[in-house]
Amino acid sequence: MTDPEIRPLQAADEAEWRRLWKAYLAFYETELPEEIYASTFARLMGGGANEYRGLLALVDGKPVGLAHYLFHRSCWHIDNVCYLQDLFADPDVRGVGIGRALIEAVYEKAQAEGSKEVYWMTQEFNATARRLYDRIAEKTPFIVYQQNF
């Protein structure tokens, strides 16, 4: 397999982005209403400083992975930090460097923006992804709490 091309998400990518996004959500046994798909893609295309940004991984011109990330302020740093919210690689290309390439691309974007930190969460059962994360980042002792309304 050739090295993936990593590039910013573009408006023309919406159909392939939706395919990957739906597969990502299916992995987490989640379904979302159409309005969430539409608003998420619009936010990814927004281009504002505080908007989500998206990357696609392509192999031989075919989208095989995605990453969504966001810069935001932090009380612990002067510069913004980067939150990598979503990371997904098609199951048939896992283990060949797609996830690593996407994370490294987010690292590059963060450094270019002056950010000193990229962070993300994953579910405890996601053993395959965690093996990668353990090699390229530091696992923190923080536990996430959430209240839905």
pLDDT in tens, 106-141: 999 999 999 999 999 999 999 999 999 999 999 999
Domain membership of residue 128 as a residue range = 5-136
Whether residue 27 lies inside any domain: the answer is yes
- What is the DSSP-derived secondary structure letter of residue 116? -
Rounded Cα–Cα distance for residues 103 and 87 (Å): 8
The pTM for the full model equals 0.94
Low-confidence ranges of the chain (pLDDT < 50): none
Residue 75: which CATH number?
3.40.630.30
Rounded Cα–Cα distance for residues 5 and 137 (Å): 22
Which pLDDT score, from 0 to 100, does residue 1 have?
65
Rounded Cα–Cα distance for residues 85 and 70 (Å): 7
Which pLDDT score, from 0 to 100, does residue 22 have?
96
Fill in the amino acid letter for 49: A
Rounded Cα–Cα distance for residues 99 and 64 (Å): 10
Whether residue 116 lies inside any domain: the answer is yes
Residue 119: how many other CB atoms lie within 10 Å: 13
